[in-house]
Amino acid sequence: MDVKARECAPNVQSSEDEDMELKRGPWTVEEDFKLIDYIATHGEGRWNSLAHCAGLKRTGKSCRLRWLNYLRPDVRRGNITLEEQLLILKLHSRWGNRWSKIAQHLPGRSDNEIKNYWRTRVQKHAKQLKCDLNSKQFKDTVRYLWMPRLVERIQAATAVSNIMVATTASATTSTSFVGSMKTVFPDDHLGGAQVNSSSYTLENSSTTAASSDSFATQLSPLSDFTYYYSINNNNSISINNPNPNRLKEFSGNHYNYGIDIQSLEQSNNPWLDTIDASENLFNAEDCYFLQQQFNFNM
């Protein structure tokens, strides 16, 4: 994807362009497809000239953000998995608010999404505990309670998925997660709950067992646009169906923020509910633990 948009000189603008007002706010389907088509042909980068050449009345920044956070083929959106939650907590404890750095270890996740996750889910729990995010209390809670609990639930989910895989394909554990954990935390411990390779190795999980291409295509929560284009061996992008008539169909049926996939997973696989219970990280047991350990005023 090194081909840059050099064909169009950004400094040469017609008077008409100079009068062109920049558009803001939510992107339309048409704008998305303009951007996708242009990047498919010319590659990404040089965002200001790209925006101009693609005929988008957007800033280069806006195009870059839209592409990276939403449109690029490998973007994953939707529920943050337990493994990803654990990784985010670990990496944040190490690097703080270095969202882009953290995102590098969560394939397909944008820094924006991780940041949003942190600000909404994690900060909410800090608020519930009435303690500061940067306080030792909260850091201890994350390290000695939250992370071990996540590890337990990941292990439990792995066990369940081993059973379920025989009859249904449903796990969405990222194969890259194991690599990330091993790379970042080669010999790590989580407050007494050790993270070892056997806990996460996908040889134990349903993802490996059901890792056929068709399965991945069906369930991987990738960009909504991936059916419209595909990534070639040389990492270039091919438009699968350039027929503009498809736009309407695509818009009507698929431009729905991935709800189909999520609802499919949840409606067909009730056990997923037990996995994605991220909002219930602190049960009565935990609250008691917190009160005892940290004198939290729950």
Please give the residue ranges that form the binding site for DNA (CB under 7 A): 10, 23-27, 45-50, 58, 60-62, 64-66, 69-70, 77-78, 97-101, 111-113, 115-117, 119-121, 124, 257, 279
Pick between residue 199 and residue 278 the one whose CB is nearest to DNA. Answer: 278
| CB closer to DNA out of 13 and 291 | 13
Nearer to DNA, 166 or 284 (CB): 284
Kindly tell me which of 5 and 190 has the beta carbon lying closer to DNA. 5
Paired strand residues for 118 = none
* Nearest approach, Cβ of residue 264 and DNA (Å): 16
Closest CA to 178 of 86, 94, 112: 86
Least Å distance, CB 208 to DNA, is 27
Of 58 and 153, the one with the shorter C-beta distance to DNA is: 58
**Smallest distance, Å, CB 79 to DNA?**
8
Min separation Cβ 193 and DNA, Å: 25
CB of 278 to DNA, least distance (A): 8
The three-state secondary structure class of 255 is: coil
Shortest distance, position 211 Cβ to DNA, whole Å: 26
* Torsional class of 144: left (φ above 0), alpha (ψ -120 to 50), beta (otherwise): alpha
Nearer to DNA, 77 or 210 (CB): 77
